[in-house]
Structure formats: structure tokens, C-alpha cells
Structure 1
């Protein structure tokens, strides 16, 4: 049996074990080491410490714990509740206005935090009960909240894009810039869908606030609630987009800004600080353990010749670039039904990247496509993590069936956006 075939067996074995429920980090690293000891020269393992130190020395990856800290700290600040209340007052007189408010606040939280789990849980706690009380059907309310909460997957500063930048070895700042227009288009598509369906089927999107039109006091209240989050977004994203700071430096500014914002809201105390630091350490440790396991897998897979075998296989099959891209997108989409986005980034993406390099594919464009596709992994039944997060904080009368049915229209919107980015990247400045 050739080593290249063993590389593919290694890949399939890891994928199956992860599906079976084994820890991702230890499956990636442990099984790869077993294959290396059995089928490769022992000297190959001497390369592993340098690879691991290369990961640990990567300053771009320092942005991960800083963005995670920023997101969790902002979750504790109470700003999301203030924003939602003021936005609901502003748009509540429009049919479907409360749902539009959830989408806008979800987008702002995504641009402030980039942490999907924190956003979904926060939005579920503060917006689901009021939406149900106002007469929104559970399918509509849960669909809007889950879709809005996962905008942090693609709206910069996204942890997903940071990890993709590391795996694809492209500029994270370039990914942030390229993701800006598609993410805004996705937010706009959600809002258009809500307002359009509200006009066609008024029963689904009731008017949440009765009374006179907007006045100056309400507008001032809205601006006050938005000022601090927007200031943080401008400080973090603006410094990256204009080239003033690297993603890591901007993440440091964002983490410090999140602490100040929480302090201004009177929520900063020892218990909050301890909780935020503990959760940040937990999430960061999980990501980096998976990353180290993925580094081991990548080394062994390449030493077995798996990447060269795949490139030669695609070249012999004469498969055009777009057909191979479609195949990868389908695989990532289906994998998102069963495994987390971090696992997809570190298992599937490194395997297919050499093939795209051989095609001469723009890797920034590829990163945006993968980011949009990975967003669906949080929403796709039966194992979409955003659905689990939301179900955990939903009232008892909201069933899993409500969540599954409610998310379908938003999944369709995401697939449409993915298609647009594939065929018209120049329109969005992605390629």
C-alpha cells in the first residue's frame, strides 16, 4: 500500500473518530503520531517541535484570545440589552421592526465581539421572551435570533477569519477587508426578507410598539445606546482596515476597550473579571490544543504525500477549478451538519489548500467562501451549535422543531449569498 493512500486513510479515520465523539485535538495529534511511528522514518518527528514553535510564535494567533476576551467581556457589559431596547423602540412601529432590531443588534454585536456562542445566548435571553410576548410565532422568532447571532462568523473581527488566515497563510487584515461587503449584504438580505415577508404575511411579523411616530427623545436614546459599541467597532475595525494596526494590535485595543465599556456600565467587578478570564482561558486552550493537533496531522499528512497525491489526482481527472470548488463547498456544508467549524478549519481546509494553490486560486476569495459556508455549520440542523445555544435559553414552549423550521429561510439566504460571491466576487471587492 502506497504512503499516499495511507494519508487518505488517516484523514478518513480522523474524520470518523471525530464524528464518533472522540476529542478533536487528541484524535488529530494522537492518530497522526501513531501513523508516523508505524509508517514513516522516526526522523520525521524531529520536525514537529519546530512546527509547534512556529505556531506558538505566530503573533497573528495572539488575536484569538484577545478577541475572545473582548467578546465575553462585552457579553457581561449589558450593552446588548440597552441597544436592543432602544432599537426596538425605534423600529417597533414598523411591521417586523422588532425582528429588524434583532438583526441590527446582532450585526453590531458580531462586529464588536466575533464570538457566536456569546451572541446567540445573549440575544436569546434578552430578545426571545419579548418577541414571543408581542405575538411572533416561535419559528420566526428563533430563526431571526439564531441567524443574527451567527453573523459573528463572517462579520469582522471574526475568530473564524483569523483561524482561516492562519491555515491558508494569507493576511487576516485582507480577509477582514474582503469580508466587509459580503457581510453587509447578508445583513441587508435578512432585513429585506423580514420586511418583505412582513408585508406579505402580516400575521408572522406583528407591530411591536403602538403609538406616535419617532421623536427627538427617542432618537437621542438610540444614539446614546449605539455610541459606545460603534466607538469600539471603529477603534478595532477601523484601525485594521486603514492599515493603522495589525489584527493582533487591534484585538488588544478591543480587549482594553471592552473592559472600559463594562466599567462605564457599572458591571465591572472581581466576579465578572474572574469569569471572563476563566472562560477566555478555556476557549483559547481548546482552540490551541486543536491547532497543535492539526499541526501534527498536517506534518504527517504531507510527509505521507497526501497533498501531492490529491493534486495529482485532480490534475489527472482534469476537474476544472470551479467543479473542485463546488465539491469542497458541498463537503464543508455537509460536514457542518455534524462537526464544529474549528474542526472543519483544521481538518478539511489544510488538505484541500494545496490543490487550490495548484489551481492558482485567490486564497482571500477562498477564505471568504469558506467563512460564509462555515457560518451555515452553526445553523444547519440537526447539530447546528447556534440552535443548541438558543434551545438552552429558550422557554419550554419553544421546541427543537420550531428552531429547525425557523432557520430554513435564513440558510437559503446564505446559500444565495455564497453563490453570488462565487460568481460575482468583483462586485463585492472580494477578488
Structure 2
């Protein structure tokens, strides 16, 4: 069988099973079994493939995923996240557009820990949009920052999605997490500048309103009580990885323990909150592990059938510069994001894109960061980006899709500008990991 026939069989089986309503992870598992039967000698091949797939789940690199997710779930269900949101809101005082800034700053913290752009968008949309609407904010000032927080959340550590991508691509988890720090800060700067410019040129977009004044002493106490402890756990977690004190797995354990201690110290660690936190983290972890299993076996089948080698040879046979091929892969991710969730997209593309990127001479950490940004941008790209429809579901009834598209474009532009900077200056991502 030719490589393109093998690729068509594998991908066609997945698409067909997804079309009849089978969950993506199970569709990949079923397609892998079909492929193993065809390419690896029937029942014996299926048994060997499943054994190899189970081996992929024993990697120590997977440990940070449940711990980072547990960290985020505790942060949310115990109310620690709400305390930080409220503190930032009060500290900003009468700053024009302050609720937009609160959304970016506080939302990024929650989204990073939760590892779910769809979940964080739904939460922030239902929490912040009604409040901003009641304060007279125009729709692009309330909706845009919420859609933009995903771009920050996916690259600023700790990011469960980055850990999963690194595991699937078999690259250094710690290096990918650390590589996102400088680009993440740059993107945050772009977002803040965007909000400032929108308020500057249209002061009525985010009208000021009276707030209870606070003394300097009260502000200091609020920072020390409700901001520093929460941010401190994240900073220490990341600093420990950068300094070589923690491995990514140890850093995740330290972060989860830190948030747990904070919740107990603030007397908000109830049995109900603990149960919801563990249940939420367990559900996403099981899905992530099933994804890893499916991806590992899919990669083996692509290699065993010759599809990987043939596809790479075909793609590199074009007279295209490596950057042109990068833009093609970026475009594929943008299109897939209109129809698929991020983890599903990774499952489909990582086994194909990373070997191709290596062949083209791209640094795998740098390419992983570009891919993470592409995954997030695709989620908010009109007309069919999935986050746009999530936002529509939690926005006021008079919000049109056109309003949501208009709000998304400036923040998509910020993310694309960051991608352009990373392509022009790769050391923005590679300097801190020392590559």
C-alpha cells in the first residue's frame, strides 16, 4: 500500500467515526485498532500496539497534568480566584476600563490553571460581561478581553495544555513552559496597550464610575492578603523550574500543595469544594490520558505504515522556504480550530507536524510555542471559531455574532503580531530556556 493510501485510510477512518458522533479520543482508538489490524498483522499487531500505547501512559512527564488541573480547580471552587478578582478590581480604582484590565489580569490567572479555554471563557463571560454591561461598557470592551485571555493562558506557565503538547511531541516539558514566559509578558503588554488605546480614543466605551476610595494602608493590606499569596504560588512554581530547583512534576506538586494550604488558611477549603476540585481535575485528566494513548499509537502507525516518511518527503519536495511551510501548517490549525477542540487538534496534528518541523530545521521548543498560539488563535477566528459561539451563549440576548467578531479582531491581531515577532526573533522564546 502506498503511503498516501495508508494516510487516507487512517485519517478517513477517524473522520468517518467522528462524523457519526463518536468522541474524538474513541474515534482515534478505533481507527488505530483498524490500522494495526491492516498494517501490523492482525490480532498480534493490535496487541503489540495496545501494549506500546499503555507504555506511553507511564511517562513521568505526564504527572504535571493532573496536578496543574487540581491547582486550578481548587483555585476556582474555594473562591480564591474570586478574592483575587475582587482585589484587583478595587485596587485599580477609577482607572478607565478597569474591568477590562481586571478581566485580562485575573482571567489569565484562572485560564492558565484551568487548562480549558472553553471553560474559562464560559466562566468569565457569565461573571464579567453582565457586570460590565451594567456599568455601561460597550460590547467590544467586555467581550474582547475575555476572548483574548486564552492567548495568554495557553503560553504563560503553569499551563496544563503546554504540558500535554510537550508530552505528545516528546519534547522537554520544562523548556516549553519556560519558553512561554517572555512571549506571554509581551502579549500581556499588547493587550493592556490595546485596552488603553480603545479607552483613549473612545472614552465612552468604558465609562468611569464612582468607587469607594481606599487609603494607601488599605491597598497595601489588600495586596498582601488577596493578591500576593495567589500570585506568589504561581511565581514560585515557575521560578523553581527556571532555577532548576524543581522539575516540572515537582513544580506542579508544589503549586497544588501551595493552593491547598492557601485555601485552608483562608478557611474556604470545604468538603464540597474539595470534592468538586478532585472530580473536575479527574475528568479532564482521564480525557488527557486517553488522548496521549491515542496519539502515541497513531504516531506508531503513521511510522509503521510509511505514511510519516512519505508525507514528509512529499511536503519537503515542494520548492518552498521553511517559513512558507510553517505558514501552511499555521493555516491548517486555524481551519481545524473552527470545528475541533484544542486537545483533539493536537491529537490529529502533532504526530504529523513535529516530524515535519524537525525535518525543516525548526527548534522543537520554538515550534511548540508557535503551535500553542496557533491553537488558541484558531479558537477565536471568525466565522466559526468555537470560543465565539461559547461567548454568544453566555452574552446578553442582544449580543450579535457581529458584535463578537468585532470584539475578537483586535486581540487576534495582538496574537498574530506576537507570532510575527517570534518568527523574526526566535530568541524571544529560546533565550530563557537557554537554547
Pairwise same-fold verdict (TM > 0.5) = yes
Cα–Cα, structure 1 residues 154 and 429, in superposed 2: closer, same or farther, change >3 Å? same
Q: Whole-Å Cα distance in 1 between the matches of residues 294 and 119 of structure 2?
A: 26
Matched, 1:379 2:377: no
Q: Whole-Å Cα distance in 2 between the matches of residues 179 and 425 of structure 1?
A: 12
Q: Whole-Å Cα distance in 2 between the matches of residues 19 and 206 of structure 1?
A: 47
Matched, 1:11 2:4: no
Given that 2:339 and 2:386 are in contact with CA atoms closer than 8 Å, whether structure 1 keeps it comes out as no
Given that 2:125 and 2:395 are in contact with CA atoms closer than 8 Å, whether structure 1 keeps it comes out as yes
Where 2:27 maps in the other structure, the secondary structure is: helix
Cα–Cα, structure 1 residues 229 and 212, in superposed 2: closer, same or farther, change >3 Å? closer
Where 2:180 maps in the other structure, the secondary structure is: helix
Structure 2 matches for 1:13-32, cutoff 5 A? 13-15=13-15, 17-18=17-18, 21-32=21-32
Shift of 1:45: 3.2
Matched, 1:358 2:356: no
Matched, 1:36 2:36: yes
Provide the residue aligned with 1:203 in structure 2.
204
Cα–Cα, structure 1 residues 320 and 385, in superposed 2: closer, same or farther, change >3 Å? same
Where 1:348 maps in the other structure, the secondary structure is: helix
Where 1:319 maps in the other structure, the secondary structure is: coil
Bigger shift: residues 387-396 or 100-109: 387-396
Given that 2:338 and 2:386 are in contact with CA atoms closer than 8 Å, whether structure 1 keeps it comes out as no
Shift of 1:379: 2.3
Shift of 1:229: 0.7
Provide the residue aligned with 1:402 in structure 2.
403
Q: Whole-Å Cα distance in 2 between the matches of residues 217 and 40 of structure 1?
A: 69
Shift of 1:400: 4.6
Q: Whole-Å Cα distance in 1 between the matches of residues 411 and 70 of structure 2?
A: 29
Shift of 1:244: 0.9
Cα–Cα, structure 1 residues 257 and 392, in superposed 2: closer, same or farther, change >3 Å? farther
Given that 1:378 and 1:384 are in contact with CA atoms closer than 8 Å, whether structure 2 keeps it comes out as yes
Provide the residue aligned with 1:347 in structure 2.
348
Bigger shift: residues 416-425 or 323-332: 416-425
Given that 1:71 and 1:115 are in contact with CA atoms closer than 8 Å, whether structure 2 keeps it comes out as no
Where 2:63 maps in the other structure, the secondary structure is: helix
RMSD after superposition: 2.4
1:93-127 Cα offsets, whole Å, 9 max, x none, are 22222211221112333455544345334433432
Given that 1:153 and 1:372 are in contact with CA atoms closer than 8 Å, whether structure 2 keeps it comes out as yes
Cα–Cα, structure 1 residues 429 and 312, in superposed 2: closer, same or farther, change >3 Å? closer
Given that 1:290 and 1:346 are in contact with CA atoms closer than 8 Å, whether structure 2 keeps it comes out as yes
Structure 2 matches for 1:29-428, cutoff 5 A? 29-42=29-42, 43-149=44-150, 151-209=152-210, 215-428=216-429
Q: Which runs of 5+ in 2 are unaligned?
A: none
Cα–Cα, structure 1 residues 195 and 129, in superposed 2: closer, same or farther, change >3 Å? same
Shift of 1:276: 1.6
1:276-317 Cα offsets, whole Å, 9 max, x none, are 222222111111122222222222222110110012112322
Bigger shift: residues 403-412 or 385-394: 385-394
Shift of 1:8: 3.5
Q: Whole-Å Cα distance in 2 between the matches of residues 381 and 21 of structure 1?
A: 24
Shift of 1:233: 0.7
Cα–Cα, structure 1 residues 286 and 95, in superposed 2: closer, same or farther, change >3 Å? same
Where 1:347 maps in the other structure, the secondary structure is: helix
Shift of 1:15: 4.0
Given that 1:156 and 1:237 are in contact with CA atoms closer than 8 Å, whether structure 2 keeps it comes out as yes
Cα–Cα, structure 1 residues 262 and 404, in superposed 2: closer, same or farther, change >3 Å? farther
Q: Which runs of 5+ in 1 are unaligned?
A: none
TM-score, structure 2 normalization: 0.91
Given that 1:78 and 1:265 are in contact with CA atoms closer than 8 Å, whether structure 2 keeps it comes out as no
1:311-332 Cα offsets, whole Å, 9 max, x none, are 2112322332111111101101
TM-score, structure 1 normalization: 0.92
Q: Whole-Å Cα distance in 2 between the matches of residues 238 and 109 of structure 1?
A: 19
Q: Whole-Å Cα distance in 2 between the matches of residues 321 and 296 of structure 1?
A: 28
1:169-188 Cα offsets, whole Å, 9 max, x none, are 11111011111011111111
Q: Whole-Å Cα distance in 1 between the matches of residues 32 and 175 of structure 2?
A: 32
Cα–Cα, structure 1 residues 294 and 211, in superposed 2: closer, same or farther, change >3 Å? closer
Shift of 1:363: 0.2
Cα–Cα, structure 1 residues 225 and 208, in superposed 2: closer, same or farther, change >3 Å? farther
Given that 2:76 and 2:82 are in contact with CA atoms closer than 8 Å, whether structure 1 keeps it comes out as no
Q: Whole-Å Cα distance in 2 between the matches of residues 316 and 151 of structure 1?
A: 36
